[in-house]
Structure 1
Amino acid sequence: MSRDRVPGTICDRPLAVRCASLRLGPAADWDAAIVIPAKDEERRLPASLNAVGAAIRAAKDVKVGIVVVVNNTRDSTALRAFEWAADQSDVPFVLIDCAFSRAGGGVGAARRLGLDLACRYLTAQGALLTTDADTAVRADWVVRNLAELQRADLICGTVLGLPDEACALPAAIASHGSAEWEYLQASLALVARLDPQSHDPAPAHHNAAGASMAVSRRVYRAVGGLPVLRTGEDRALAERIAAHDFRVRYSADTIVETSCRMTGRAEGGMAAALRARACDSDPHVDEWLEAPETLALRHGLRGRLRAVWPDQPALHAALIADLGRSRADRIMERSPGPHFGAFFATVEQFAPRLARHRLRFSDCRRDLPQLMALLARTETATQGDLPAAPSTHRKAARDEPAY
């Protein structure tokens, strides 16, 4: 056992008002590290750790350690973590007990701290995995993540609800969910046809959740680490990695089951979404979903630009066709840079028609027929033949100043 001062990007900032760590087992040459942020999770954390321990033991001949970051807790979460680790002689374990100021706290800060520290213990080819304290990973979770990382750079796993808790949810959630589910499946199918990715074949769920993510140490450090946000840090990391042209895989095979409670620890997390679905008459749906024409324009344009990257005249021509000449000229005035992902992020910034507007369940029910019609059109069209959305495509080509 050893006690370490924890260096790094979070604890060296004044927003961290307290930070200490306890280490059990070897602190070097890990093949993989599993990072778990935990706040007020004394009841659920032991089950989460039991599941993680089983997944580690299933990954034979792979040295995997655990880093638990207990932040701003008001209960015995840290003690429960220590008690669990003390009984696991074969699993390297690091416990961080810290507090952030109200302005600098949140799950994003805790996850970033754990990931940064875990990098110290990994081999140069090591992998970072992360889950949550109210989540149970499946027994093959470590094995499947490490296998997927041979073909992609970030693995975003599938997050399901714990079966017994999901069955106990209010009926209103299921009634809302059916409309969102149909709209989501049609959206995923359309995106797969407009901008297919060889490293991320369908079905790709497009949900980047901290409850199940895996990334190599090399890629994590290359992009500057996890964005420190109070909420949404997981999707922000996926966007950052994609902007550097690393391969993001939304895997149906790396599965975890998470709490379906409606009073959660993280702002804007799953608990808040479930609560809204239970209480609101017309709640918002997942933020990835968007109106049919916007979805088709975004991913159709991205697919066409990706197909000609980095040919600047061809990029310019594709932009003119979808966004109009004046806007295409403005985008191409800037150097496209070395990364397609960052270039397309610039395209999105300069195209107000690609601005994201959060949909509600009523929007999904209303727009599903239009989305299905767009999807049907792709069944016989090739990638280069299909305009993103006919009406808006023609309007953009005239370069009208309606943007």
Structure 2
Amino acid sequence: MEVERVLHMNGGLGEISYANNSLVQRKVISLTKAITEEAISEVYSSIGGSKSLCVAELGCSTGPNTLFVAAELVKIVHKLSRKQGHDQLPEFQIHLNDLPGNDFNSIFLSLLPLFQVELLQELGPGFGPCFLSAVPGSFYGRLFPAKTLHFVHSSYSLMWLSKVPEGLEVNKDNIYMASTSPANVINAYYEQFQRDFSTFLKCRSEEVVEGGRMVLTILGRKSENASAKECCYIWELLALSLKEMVSQGVIEEEKLHSFNIPQYTPSPAEVKMEVEKEGSFTINRLEVSEITWASCGNGFCTQDHLVTADDHGYNVAKCMRSVAEPLLVEHFGQFEIDKLFDNYSKILSDRMSKEDTKFINVTVSMTRRQ
């Protein structure tokens, strides 16, 4: 699997699009808002009367979350500028990065006009020029000129690896790390994460100005056990649905045995270790937050309908489909994918009615060393 070519969220605005199934990601951004606001405030204070503020949103995807942080940044700087008595705001350069398969067209056709209207209505015409650009490419390589970025933000992207780790042939029925995965499989995933995250930090160290900041939120875990249920369970349940498709003859068993998710969910200690090893950044804050799987839906009740476990399972299945469908179709070809996710929805509903299921988030705020 060529991850850089294949990995992207479902585009468009349909029922199974990422744009319509990324509510949990939006809630995670809101959970970490205080950390992001602190970092942006310190960046603005450090650049003083600079004429421009250059920002990168890495792994931007498409949908309502794409420009959410950018809008908040402009509002925060506007507020600080007025408080400090500055006559003019800096010009904002906002770079939106994701892999080439991302639906960038939707961003500029649908989201950018709304972004501009929202800022104009809230801040008035004096909020300063705001230039947006798309930067397609892997963030496991250089993306920007040296020493040009003041602030980098990324949320729910860095758990994705640059490639499927090598040596996973013995993982068999598991599509990810699991309690039954051999030790060498767990080690292969961890070593790939180490290589990728170290490369990411090195690339950003060349692009971020001295004193610049990064805030990264990664789907992770609290436990030091890489195959802990808190980070692997969501994929284990999808594997159950895939196994049922094998038993029905819909997909080949050999295909299942060769499918592995290119993702690693690190612990805070693992994130800290790589940052300190690479050495270009100082950690200011390293925090863990939790959000329930049920947050994939809005959770609203109406007079005619109470939210049930079936609703939660359906919403989580749609959320996971918007993320995983391109990987599944690339590997298995065109198959009865509706049936796969219908069954997955039932499995999720059953488990969520009996267990406390949560996503764990690791957020790190860093400063580029002088």
Question: TM-score range with shorter-chain normalisation?
Answer: under 0.3
Question: Scaled by the length of structure 1, what TM-score is found?
Answer: 0.25
Q: Say which one has the larger Rg.
A: 1
Question: Scaled by the length of structure 2, what TM-score is found?
Answer: 0.26
